[in-house]
Structure 1
Amino acid sequence: MEKTPVNLDAYRELTGKVIGCAMQVHRVLGTGFQEVIYQRALAIELEQCGVVAQRELEMPIYYRQKEIGSRRVDFLVEETVLVELKALSALNEAHHAQIINYLEAYRLPIGLLINFGASSLEFKRFVKTRPIY
């Protein structure tokens, strides 16, 4: 099957808004809280900015086009962007692999990994490079 690359420009504005909201939460709360506190604050901030997001959404997981289970995602923004939150002192390759795997399993085109635990907000965009089936 032919690869259909994801157009990052189409998502840049939306992911930029989410990152901006996360920066505001980090500015106000700083570090040291549990992930759920940042999640609740980000939900408020996203709503204030008019970004449609579902929090703690139960999503099906697929393997070879078959649903094999489900898991809750931190946020699904405008039904296309997966947002995974962390509150850790540092991110590592395992966290990057986790979100890449989530994009594959959930059949989503783009994801954001946001870490509130560092002294400065850490974030990274991930784009699905394989076709979405």
Structure 2
Amino acid sequence: MITKKYLKDLVYRVNGAAIEVHKHLGPGLLESIYHKCMIQELSLRGINFQSELTIPIEYKGLELESDLRCDLFIENCLVLELKAADKVLPVHVAKLMSYMNLLEAPIGLMINYNVINIYNEGQKTYVNELFRRLEEE
């Protein structure tokens, strides 16, 4: 059973992986480079994930093909979106929240590598109604 404690620990572990990647590469590279390095770092840390997961769309009882892909879907409960942008825009947050809802994931994490200090300014956690309904422990 997934708990808030489990998810908070998972976010901590994924943030650690992101910090490690940023420590080695710094800002200024393409998002695809950070993505490849995150795949490697998550694997080294034994964290299960799916990369470039196609997100299904259900419309009026039908499942439709889509071109929506989440960067990383971690442990089947955390959506990780990676950016290498000057600023995370509201549209980026809306996309993350939509992916969380479509994948029925209670928590999401936005990592922007184009910052000097990733811990203070490059990561933000988002939750939805599914998270609010989870048990604490």
Q: CA deviation at 1:13?
A: 0.7
Q: Any runs of at least 4 consecutive aligned residues in structure 1 with deviations exceeding 6 A, and if so which?
A: none
Letter in 1 for 2:79: L
Q: Which residue in 1 is equivalent to 2:134?
A: none
Q: Which residue in 1 is equivalent to 2:88?
A: 91
Q: Which residue in 1 is equivalent to 2:112?
A: 115
Q: Which residue in 2 is equivalent to 1:38?
A: 34
Q: CA–CA distance in 2 between the matches of 1:64 and 1:16?
A: 37
**Aligned pairs, how many?**
127
- For structure 1, the residue ranges without an aligned partner over 5 or more in a row are 1-5
SS at structure 1 position matched to 2:52: strand
Q: 1:105 to 1:63 in 2, by over 3 A?
A: farther
Q: Does 1:128 align with 2:128?
A: yes
Q: 1:63 to 1:126 in 2, by over 3 A?
A: farther
Moved more, 97-106 or 65-74: 65-74
SS at structure 2 position matched to 1:85: strand
Q: 1:61 to 1:106 in 2, by over 3 A?
A: farther
Q: CA deviation at 1:61?
A: 2.5
Q: Which residue in 2 is equivalent to 1:3?
A: none
Identical aligned pairs, as a percentage?
A: 33
When normalised by structure 1's length, the TM-score is: 0.84
**In 1, are the aligned partners of 2:77 and 2:107 still within 8 Å (CA)?**
yes
The structure that is helix-richer by fraction is 2
SS at structure 2 position matched to 1:82: strand
CA RMSD of aligned residues (A): 2.2
**In 2, are the aligned partners of 1:51 and 1:77 still within 8 Å (CA)?**
yes
- For structure 2, the residue ranges without an aligned partner over 5 or more in a row are 132-137
Instruction: Select 2:20's aligned residue among 11, 24, 29.
Output: 24
Q: Which residue in 2 is equivalent to 1:50?
A: 46
Q: 1:42 to 1:48 in 2, by over 3 A?
A: same
When normalised by structure 2's length, the TM-score is: 0.82
Q: CA deviation at 1:64?
A: 5.8
C-alpha distance after superposition, 1:27-74 (max 9, x if no partner): 110011110100000111111111111111222123466423332211
Q: CA deviation at 1:130?
A: 5.4
**In 1, are the aligned partners of 2:85 and 2:114 still within 8 Å (CA)?**
yes
